[in-house]
Amino acid sequence: MLNILLLEDDPEDAELIRCSLLDSEVHMQMSVASTKEQYLSALGRKQVDLILSDFSLPGFDGWEALRSARQRRPEAPFIFVSGTMGEETAIRALKRGATDYILKDRLARLAPSVRRAVDEARRQRELKRIRGERRRLHRIIETTPDFVAIMDSDCRIVYLNPQGRRMLGIGQEALPAPTAGDPGYEWASRIMEAEKLRVAALKGAWIGESTLISRSGREIPVSQVVIAHKDQAGEIEYFSTLCRNVESLKQSQIALENSQKQLRELAGHLQDIREEERARVSRDIHDEFGQSLTAIRMGLSWLQKRLADAPASLAKLQQMEQLVDQTIQAVRRIVSQLRPAILDDLGLFAAIAWQAREFQKQTGIACEVEIDPMDPTDLVGQNMTIALFRIFQETMTNAARHAQATCLRVHCSVVGDRLVLRVEDDGIGISRQEASDPRSFGLVGLKERVVLLGGHVSIRGKPGKGTKVAVTIPLSGNKGRPCES
């Protein structure tokens, strides 16, 4: 619906104009102003899509009406509808911003003129909107801290935004620049390499990491998107690209990786030291206490023979002998916990089987052990056997402490180049959060040991069903780093 403002002091003429438009089926709402005041007030207040104005009015003339309309409603078309308008005046009116003029005795021309004017006004509005949008987009592209370039269908870089020019050191140099490997234009050919264009043409876009090169030959790592823009027939019109400099990101990534590697090495070193220390303490306890206790035990036996006729002293001696036997057992237990000799004597898998039996004895939790007859101890370094044994001990201890399990299934085997250790319990099941909590230090240490050996670990729990810890370690590459014992 068109809102038309008509400035006309003659009611009959006003009616004629209204009827002429209605007869031609112009959908409109018309408000009529017959004085200067009414006209100015309507211009200020109402929605006005088009203005029709008489030329000669008492106390107010067409020029003034036109001037006010141009000031207040610059977008609304303005058509003079006049009984008396010479050709010269009409031309002057058009020059001053009127859209058209119609003589009252030719009112048949009015409706087509109104339609044309409205269409043109709409087109102008749309054009203005598009121009505004283009201006805004251009400003965004020109000020963005990312690199933006456009390549035409003849493979020439036709646009490079200021950030792109800065990154590549191109200055205000005129474009287009060839990308077909012309000498001196490597910077341009790097932006749109053939492979990126091929993928973009095929799939619409290429997204990835790449390296641009500046005019001076400096390499710049970027994360890049190349987009192929096609016309309606599917032919490529041009390619655009957006690149983000990831140099500092890359540097921090490298620094982070280095520091993680250092931390891992430090953790490995600390583990080694811990194992060495345990081995030393275990040796000392074994040698010092073991020998002394055996000597005491022998001494007690000697005394026993000589005190056969003193029953009270004999009973005391027997008590002491029992105590010494218990202490010898305790020392053996401590020594084997610190550094299971069985690990060195029988190898990893046998040590695991022994540990499982011990576990069953101590906790009452049944242990089903399934072990590959082929023991890998000779294939791998000592650090790996100790690490795996400690991993196994941690899973057993966890099962006893947290799982409320009644049964434990242990599986050890060598599959191809990999050693597999699986421990499953039938307890309450570890939660996902507990399994990945950085404060679960037992599990963190376990994972750290596996990572140091280049292996993989999965810790999964099912509520009420149990927990499964599966460790896989490659055998090759773990022969080195022997641990002193």
Ligand X SMILES: Nc1ncnc2c1ncn2[C@@H]1O[C@H](COP(=O)(O)OP(=O)(O)OP(=O)(O)O)[C@@H](O)[C@H]1O
Binding partner at 380 among ligand X, Mg ion, none, C-beta below 5 to 8 Å by kind? none
CA distance 64 to 36: 9
List, edge to edge, every strand of the sheet that includes 466-474.
366-371, 407-415, 418-425, 466-474, 456-462
Q: How many helices (H) and strands (E) does the chain have?
A: 16, 18
Is 50 or 403 the residue whose CB approaches Mg ion more closely? 403
Residues 381 and 479 sit within 8 Å (Cβ to Cβ): yes
Query: What CA dihedral angle connects 291, 292, 297 and 303, to 10 degrees?
Result: 130
- Does residue 156 contact residue 238 with C-beta atoms inside 8 Å? no
Rounded to an integer, what distance in angstroms lies between the CA atom of residue 128 and that of residue 12? 39
Which residues of the shown chain bind Mg ion in the complex (CB under 5 A)? 398, 442
| Residue in the shown chain whose Cβ atom is closest to ligand X | 442
| Residue 434 interacting entry, from Mg ion, ligand X, none, C-beta within 5 to 8 Å by type | ligand X
62 binds, among Mg ion, ligand X, none (CB under 5 to 8 A by kind): none
E strands in 386-465: 407-415, 418-425, 456-462
Closest to ligand X by CB, 376 vs 466, is 466
Q: Collapsing DSSP states into helix, strand and coil, what is residue 375?
A: coil
Token pair 């020109």 is found at: 142
Handedness of CA 136, 137, 138, 139 (dihedral sign): positive
The distance of closest approach from Cβ of residue 463 to ligand X in the complex, given in angstroms and rounded to an integer, is 10
| 279/435 with CB nearer Mg ion | 435
Cβ neighbours, 10 Å, residue 132: 10
**Binding partner selected for residue 164 from ligand X, Mg ion, none, CB under the kind-specific 5 to 8 Å limit:** none
- Give least dist CB 277 to ligand X, A: 19
Q: Which does 440 bind (CB under 5 to 8 A by kind): ligand X, Mg ion, none?
A: ligand X
Longest dimension (CA), the chain: 158
The CB-of-380 to ligand X minimum distance in angstroms stands at 25
Q: Minimal distance in Å, beta carbon 409 to ligand X?
A: 12
- Could you tell which of ligand X, Mg ion, none binds residue 403, using a CB distance below 5 to 8 A set by kind? ligand X
Taking the least distance from each CB to ligand X, the nearer of 135 and 401 is 401
Residue 467 binding result from Mg ion, ligand X, none, given CB thresholds of 5 to 8 Å by partner type: ligand X
Amino acid 54 reads D
Three-state DSSP at 98 gives: coil
| Least distance from ligand X to the Cβ atom of residue 202, Å | 49
Residues 282, 284: Cα–Cα separation, whole Å: 5
Please, what is the minimum distance in Å from the beta carbon of residue 389 to ligand X?
Answer: 16
Contact partner, 117, from ligand X, Mg ion, none, Cβ < 5-8 Å per class: none
Backbone phi, then psi, for 322, in 5-degree steps? -60, -45
**Residue nearer to ligand X on the CB measure, 272 or 425:** 425
Shortest reach from residue 403's CB to Mg ion, in Å: 11
- Partner interacting with residue 302 (select from ligand X, Mg ion, none; CB below 5-8 Å by kind): none
Residue with tokens 């058509």: 79
Q: Residue 402: name its binding partner from Mg ion, ligand X, none (Cβ under 5 to 8 Å by kind).
A: ligand X
Cβ nearer to Mg ion, comparing 97 with 442: 442
In 255-388, beta strands by DSSP E: 366-371
Residue 290 and residue 335: Cα distance in Å, rounded? Answer: 10
* 424's tokens: 């499953």
Cβ pair 159, 150 in contact under 8 A: yes
Contact call for residues 96 and 114 (beta carbons, < 8 A): no
- Compare residues 5 and 408 and give the one whose CB is closer to ligand X: 408
Q: How far is the CB of 267 from Mg ion (least distance, A)?
A: 17
* Residue with smaller CB distance to ligand X, 402 or 418: 402
Pick between residue 113 and residue 440 the one whose CB is nearest to ligand X: 440
Could you tell me which residues are beta bridge partners of residue 239? 151, 228
Using CB under 6 A, list all residues that contact ligand X. 398-399, 401-403, 425, 427-428, 430, 434, 440-443, 467
Minimum Å gap between C-beta 451 and ligand X is 15
CB of 358 to ligand X, least distance (A): 18
Give the nearer residue to ligand X in terms of CB position, either 259 or 436. 436
φ/ψ of residue 25, rounded to 5: 60, 40
